[in-house]
Chain A
Amino acid sequence: MCAQALLYGQEIGECNPRLFRRIITYKRLSQLSVSATHVKSSGTHSITSMEIEPMEYRYLISTGSSKKISIHDTWNLYRKEDLNSHSLPQVACVGSQERHKRYMHKNTVNFVQWYPRDTGLFVTSSLDGTIKIWDTNKLKPAETMQISSPIYNHHLSPTATTHLLIAAATTSRVRLADIRSGSTTHMLRGHVGNVLCVRWSPKDEFHLASGSVDNKVLMWDVRHAKSILRTFDQHNSESSGDPTSAGTAHTGTVNSIRFNDDGRYLLTYGTDDRMRLWNTDTGENTLVNYGRVDNDFQHLPLHMTIYNGGPMSSVAFVPAGRQILMFDLYAGHFLRRLTEHLSTVRCCELNPRTQEFYSAAQNSNILVWSPDDADAHSASDVIGVGGDATSNDQARQMIANLWQDDWSDSD
């Protein structure tokens, strides 16, 4: 369906507005290309985690092995429509000044997350065994919680209304830290290896999924004394319903897990180079075949991301080595390969508002992918939005020239 027909359909009410949005978004996602905009890198540290804040989808927070935490403003992109490359403005940075050293993490920061309802807070966890809750305006930690074992990942439930628990993935157990009391309340035992990833279910505020080095993915109910709700078994064997059974979700470390938007499905990714989609209600493997997805990250968490576009147009972005692969979430079709990174990709994040995509690799290089730049590059379709139109024209002309073949007549 062409864009004109869609627009018309939407006008006359033939096309569901939500569907219209999904179609447009899906189309734009397939046009992602590296934007001329870039994020200034500082040094060669690896970037382990980043997140775009879920209120306005404006501020991108990122952290890594340099222990610095930087916040970039993504909106700035559209104020300057200039083809000459420019960088995202950095709004704030913890660690840029000497005085920050006092309260910075002592070791690699493995995860950073905005407080789900306010940009005034964000939470970081680090291998030095602390979770810090930061005041964004002061750029100082409001609270520091000691867990005395390295933390690989943590998560704050985006949907919880009755609790404010941070689930922290540590060595062989999941710890629950209560922001309100500032204490670590629970300890969920069940894994036998380091827990690398943990996620609250969007469907039920007390449900929690975790993936570990021991190849297992477990579903917990934090209210239960017994805690383990479900063990995901890759072979869907008879005993898979039994929470105590020793079924494994992967035949390798589970690096990354992600729920879809309604929490009915769980996507997991392991070092057996496989991705699996699980039904969280029944705990069965949906056997969606994503094919082989290279993954050689043995003992570190990776962060994939999902665009939720309904059953037809949901997209999973998966870091696989130096590439990022795009899959149709429910069908398992391979969609696209983003190859611009030159070192191993650790995390990626999608801005659902603008369909901009951010990915970060181990060389502290954050790339901004934008569907708009593809339009801008196609020289025939020039839309002058601000800026110096003539100079832009010249630049585009030059690029168009460079894109031409250059066979000499003598050949």
Chain B
Amino acid sequence: MELSLAQELEGIIERLVTSGQRQLDKPLLKKLKLFCKGNDDNLRHCFQLIISQLHKDHAEVRLSAFQIVNELFMRSHLFRQLLLDMFNEYMDLTMEVDFENPLPPPRHIAEKLKSDSLVAMKAWHDKYGIAYSKLALAMHFLQNVKKIKFDAATPQNNVERQVESSRNAQRQIINGMKLDKLTKTIDKNLWEIKQCATEIKNCLLLLVPNFEDPDENLKDVILESESATSAVTRDTGLPRSGYSLQIDLSTISKMHVNQTQDNKAVIDRTKDLTISAHRIYLPRIRSWISMGSKCNAPSALIKQLIDVKFDLQEALRKYKDLNLSGAKDIGSDSDESDIDDFEEVPEAGENLKKINGKKLTPKLNKAKAIVPASSQSDTNVWKPMKTKTTSDSNDPTSYQHALEIQAKKRKMHEQQVKTSSKKLQKIIPKLGKKRGETTLYDKAPVVSFGKDLLAWDKERENELKETLMMGTAKEYDIGHRFWSGTSASEGDAGVSDAALTSLTTCTIEFTGEFKPVTRCCNAPLPNGRLCPRQDRYKCPFHGKIIERDASGNPIDGTKPSTSQSASSAWNDPEFLKDIERSSEGKIKLKKKKQSRQEKQGIGLTDLKKIHDTSRSRLQKKIFSAGSIKRVAGTLDNLDDKRNRDKFGNNFNYALN
């Protein structure tokens, strides 16, 4: 055979086998058959190539090779003879006859290969069994020794059947246990859900009278019609009773229930119920249904569960139609604004003693500490400095002033609502800048302290002065020749301000207030939900926490994947070439080797990828020689230390 021909044949088989498809490529196969047809040498070579492919440790390669074998087996007598000569090997490679030589991964392809080859085996035997004794022997071997039943939909051997049946039995036992547990929990807890559903319904009935109820409607209609003939014509002056007024209610798409004093309790209760229904009952009942269907629960039970679920969902739908949630939002907004206003009101007239803490500059701190006694004497309230806003206004305590501030706030709020979110981002720093100087003290936290500390330094000052004086006096009394007070020369007035300050300063630690974290990360998760992790700054999985919309997309539009794009730029070969060119060969960038996968351009599943699980990656790290050595070294050191501590005095150990 010519070399070029052999190479071409090899190429064809290689391509057929590495396609990764479940079906062979028809034109290529036709080409292959053309090569083999009527040319024994080609056929022999082809056979060798196919067998070598069958030995590859990849189920997809083997599957394709088997398919080629199947095609040629049906065609050529010589091929049949060649294959039957090594049928042992062939059976090992495709049918997983020997349990010590299982088929290679991926597993699902291997299963397909196995069942396909067994089915083909049956077909071959049916057709050629008489003429080829080996085929009959192999069939006998598979049926009687390996106990493979070919009549079944998927041929299995004895061991597999046993394994499967035992697995099924095990599964049934587990299912039964699960089912028992499930029915118990359902019996215990189902009434809660039912109750919730009926309660919601009843609440809604209280809020909105049911017009659909046929009996009540009828009564109303009758009543109305009776009064209509007499009273309505008289009152409205409409000429005839036959006149009908049609009101199209469909245009009113949404119902609104106004919250009043009367129905507040009902609405609140409904809200609570719906929240708990959404959060607890619906997920619970869903999980029950899925679990029940998994472990073959009786259909009556599942039906009951589904009915309850529909009931609850119906109730929730009705509630949604009422748009109570919208009302609630508005209400909560106003509440919040109220609270804000309340917080912003200057606390001028209050009797609280407040002091600025940590955030003040040390200079201010000092000033606070050595407060002149005069200012303290006339008021109980100590103010470190008047804020600009209060000083500017004429009369900060007046109602007028308070209103003014409130009006300002509202304006600001409206502006914020109007402007888009992007603009909002820009506005906020501006506002901050405007009031930057003024708000430094506003921002500073206020810490209250007890009454006893009010005159603390005042009272103590004299005392301390005395003691200091005494200290110096004592030094005089000692009358030591060498050891004398340094401040001796200063005399009585020598009690320095600094010393006094250091003694009279009372520092109150301020560590800041605890604010519970309310921000969620909200990055979209693969399961469709949003990341629920709460943190001030950074989510451990999704990086810095940013503002996101309801679907988890960042609001400001900047994606955190800038680093990726940068790195992709470095992977861009054109870009790298440009760099090389511009640097005129000074910078030489290593070209990344194209991965083998790419080079071959084949459609086979990457077996390495299958094995690349989180477990294997962890294993690689944990059980790497280096880390084991390090850990072992540390443990050894600890042991040594302990032994030294314990037995160091024992000569027997000390010698070691």
| A, B co-complexed | yes
- Tell me the A residues contacting B by CB distance below 8 Å: 33-34, 36, 41, 44, 85, 322, 339-343, 363, 365, 367, 395, 398-399, 402-408, 411
CA of A342 to CA of B142, assembled, Å: 9
Q: Is residue B34 within 8 Å, beta carbon to beta carbon, of the partner chain? A: yes
Which residue of chain B has its CB nearest to the CB of A401? B131
Instruction: Say whether A398 contacts B130, CB under 8 Å.
Output: yes
Q: Is residue B127 within 8 Å, beta carbon to beta carbon, of the partner chain? A: yes
Q: Is residue B33 within 8 Å, beta carbon to beta carbon, of the partner chain? A: yes
Pick the contact of A34: B34, B75, B134, B145 (CB < 8 A): B134
Q: Is residue B91 within 8 Å, beta carbon to beta carbon, of the partner chain? A: yes
Instruction: Say whether A399 contacts B131, CB under 8 Å.
Output: yes
Pick the contact of B137: A342, A402, A405 (CB < 8 A): A342
CA of A367 to CA of B134, assembled, Å: 11
Instruction: Say whether B133 contacts A36, CB under 8 Å.
Output: yes
The smallest beta-carbon distance between A37 and chain B, in angstroms, is: 10
Whether A402 touches B131, Cβ cut-off 8 Å, given contacts A44-B145, A339-B88, is: yes
Can you report 9 residue pairs joining A to B where beta carbons are below 8 Å apart? A33-B133, A44-B144, A340-B137, A342-B137, A398-B131, A402-B128, A403-B131, A404-B77, A405-B77
CA of A402 to CA of B125, assembled, Å: 12
Question: Which residues of the partner chain A approach B25 to less than 8 Å between Cβ atoms?
Answer: none
Q: Is residue B85 within 8 Å, beta carbon to beta carbon, of the partner chain? A: yes
CA of A36 to CA of B128, assembled, Å: 14
CA of A106 to CA of B639, assembled, Å: 58
CA of A78 to CA of B144, assembled, Å: 28
CA of A53 to CA of B645, assembled, Å: 83
Question: Which residues of the partner chain A approach B30 to less than 8 Å between Cβ atoms?
Answer: 411
CA of A339 to CA of B90, assembled, Å: 12
Q: Is residue B70 within 8 Å, beta carbon to beta carbon, of the partner chain? A: no
Question: Which residues of the partner chain A approach B136 to less than 8 Å between Cβ atoms?
Answer: 85
CA of A340 to CA of B84, assembled, Å: 8
Nearest 7 Cβ contacts at the A-B interface? A402-B131, A411-B33, A342-B141, A363-B145, A399-B131, A34-B133, A407-B37
Pick the contact of B33: A34, A339, A407 (CB < 8 A): A407
Instruction: Say whether A339 contacts B77, CB under 8 Å.
Output: no
Whether A402 touches B127, Cβ cut-off 8 Å, given contacts A407-B37, A407-B76, is: yes
Instruction: Say whether B134 contacts A407, CB under 8 Å.
Output: no
Whether A41 touches B75, Cβ cut-off 8 Å, given contacts A339-B86, A399-B130, is: no
Question: Which residues of the partner chain A approach B88 to less than 8 Å between Cβ atoms?
Answer: 322, 339, 341-342
Which residue of chain A has its CB nearest to the CB of B131? A402
Question: Which residues of the partner chain A approach B77 to less than 8 Å between Cβ atoms?
Answer: 403-405
Q: Which of A44, A340, A342, A406 has the most CB of B within 10 A?
A: A342
Question: Which residues of the partner chain B approach A365 to less than 8 Å between Cβ atoms?
Answer: 137, 140-141, 145
Instruction: Say whether B37 contacts A363, CB under 8 Å.
Output: no
Question: Which residues of the partner chain A approach B75 to less than 8 Å between Cβ atoms?
Answer: 405-408, 411
The smallest beta-carbon distance between A363 and chain B, in angstroms, is: 4
CA of A322 to CA of B140, assembled, Å: 16
Instruction: Say whether B145 contacts A343, CB under 8 Å.
Output: yes
Instruction: Say whether B131 contacts A340, CB under 8 Å.
Output: no
**Proximity bits, B313-328, A CB within 8 Å = 1, else 0:** 0000000000000000
Question: Which residues of the partner chain B approach A406 to less than 8 Å between Cβ atoms?
Answer: 74-76
Question: Which residues of the partner chain B approach A399 to less than 8 Å between Cβ atoms?
Answer: 130-131
CA of A342 to CA of B75, assembled, Å: 25
CA of A411 to CA of B74, assembled, Å: 13
Question: Which residues of the partner chain B approach A403 to less than 8 Å between Cβ atoms?
Answer: 77, 131
Instruction: Report B26-76 residues with CB < 8 Å from chain A CB.
Output: 30, 33-34, 37-38, 74-76
Question: Which residues of the partner chain B approach A402 to less than 8 Å between Cβ atoms?
Answer: 127-128, 130-132
CA of A36 to CA of B135, assembled, Å: 12
Question: Which residues of the partner chain A approach B446 to less than 8 Å between Cβ atoms?
Answer: none
Instruction: Say whether B141 contacts A411, CB under 8 Å.
Output: no
Number of inter-chain CB pairs below 8 Å:
68
Chain A contact residues, majority secondary structure = loop
Which residue of chain A has its CB nearest to the CB of B71? A411
Question: Which residues of the partner chain B approach A341 to less than 8 Å between Cβ atoms?
Answer: 88
Q: Is residue B119 within 8 Å, beta carbon to beta carbon, of the partner chain? A: no
CA of A44 to CA of B75, assembled, Å: 34
Which residue of chain B has its CB nearest to the CB of A399? B131
CA of A404 to CA of B78, assembled, Å: 9
CA of A72 to CA of B38, assembled, Å: 45
**Contacts A399-B130, A402-B130, A406-B76 known; 4 new A-B pairs at CB < 8 A:** A340-B134, A340-B137, A367-B137, A395-B130
Question: Which residues of the partner chain B approach A339 to less than 8 Å between Cβ atoms?
Answer: 85-88, 134
The smallest beta-carbon distance between A351 and chain B, in angstroms, is: 19
The smallest beta-carbon distance between B75 and chain A, in angstroms, is: 5
The smallest beta-carbon distance between B132 and chain A, in angstroms, is: 8
Instruction: Say whether B37 contacts A34, CB under 8 Å.
Output: no
Q: Is residue B138 within 8 Å, beta carbon to beta carbon, of the partner chain? A: yes
Instruction: Say whether A411 contacts B145, CB under 8 Å.
Output: no
The smallest beta-carbon distance between A342 and chain B, in angstroms, is: 4
CA of A1 to CA of B179, assembled, Å: 83
Instruction: Say whether B144 contacts A41, CB under 8 Å.
Output: yes
Which residue of chain A has its CB nearest to the CB of B74? A406
The smallest beta-carbon distance between B425 and chain A, in angstroms, is: 71
Question: Which residues of the partner chain B approach A44 to less than 8 Å between Cβ atoms?
Answer: 144-145
Whether A407 touches B38, Cβ cut-off 8 Å, given contacts A340-B133, A363-B145, A399-B131, is: yes
Instruction: Report B127-161 residues with CB < 8 Å from chain A CB.
Output: 127-128, 130-134, 136-138, 140-141, 144-145
Whether A34 touches B137, Cβ cut-off 8 Å, given contacts A363-B145, A411-B37, is: yes
CA of A218 to CA of B91, assembled, Å: 41
Question: Which residues of the partner chain A approach B34 to less than 8 Å between Cβ atoms?
Answer: 411
Which residue of chain A has its CB nearest to the CB of B140? A365
Which residue of chain B has its CB nearest to the CB of A41? B144
Instruction: Say whether A342 contacts B33, CB under 8 Å.
Output: no
Question: Which residues of the partner chain A approach B127 to less than 8 Å between Cβ atoms?
Answer: 402
CA of A33 to CA of B132, assembled, Å: 11
Instruction: Say whether A342 contacts B131, CB under 8 Å.
Output: no
Question: Which residues of the partner chain A approach B128 to less than 8 Å between Cβ atoms?
Answer: 402
Instruction: Say whether A405 contacts B76, CB under 8 Å.
Output: yes
CA of A404 to CA of B91, assembled, Å: 24
Question: Which residues of the partner chain B approach A408 to less than 8 Å between Cβ atoms?
Answer: 75
CA of A402 to CA of B131, assembled, Å: 6
The smallest beta-carbon distance between A319 and chain B, in angstroms, is: 14
The smallest beta-carbon distance between A318 and chain B, in angstroms, is: 17
The smallest beta-carbon distance between B27 and chain A, in angstroms, is: 11
Instruction: Say whether B138 contacts A342, CB under 8 Å.
Output: yes
Instruction: Say whether B141 contacts A363, CB under 8 Å.
Output: yes
Instruction: Report B67-115 residues with CB < 8 Å from chain A CB.
Output: 74-78, 85-88, 91
CA of A40 to CA of B501, assembled, Å: 115
CA of A165 to CA of B364, assembled, Å: 121
Question: Which residues of the partner chain A approach B145 to less than 8 Å between Cβ atoms?
Answer: 44, 342-343, 363, 365
The smallest beta-carbon distance between B143 and chain A, in angstroms, is: 11
CA of A357 to CA of B384, assembled, Å: 117
Which residue of chain B has its CB nearest to the CB of A322? B88
CA of A402 to CA of B134, assembled, Å: 14
Question: Which residues of the partner chain A approach B131 to less than 8 Å between Cβ atoms?
Answer: 398-399, 402-403
The smallest beta-carbon distance between B162 and chain A, in angstroms, is: 15
Question: Which residues of the partner chain A approach B37 to less than 8 Å between Cβ atoms?
Answer: 407, 411
Q: Which of B34, B87, B131 has the most CB of A within 10 A?
A: B131
The smallest beta-carbon distance between A31 and chain B, in angstroms, is: 14
The smallest beta-carbon distance between A65 and chain B, in angstroms, is: 14
Instruction: Say whether A343 contacts B33, CB under 8 Å.
Output: no
CA of A342 to CA of B136, assembled, Å: 12
Question: Which residues of the partner chain B approach A411 to less than 8 Å between Cβ atoms?
Answer: 30, 33-34, 37, 75
CA of A322 to CA of B128, assembled, Å: 23
CA of A340 to CA of B139, assembled, Å: 12
CA of A395 to CA of B76, assembled, Å: 20
The smallest beta-carbon distance between A263 and chain B, in angstroms, is: 36
Which residue of chain A has its CB nearest to the CB of B34? A411
CA of A399 to CA of B144, assembled, Å: 25
CA of A85 to CA of B136, assembled, Å: 11
CA of A26 to CA of B133, assembled, Å: 23
The smallest beta-carbon distance between A105 and chain B, in angstroms, is: 23
Question: Which residues of the partner chain B approach A322 to less than 8 Å between Cβ atoms?
Answer: 88
The smallest beta-carbon distance between A97 and chain B, in angstroms, is: 23
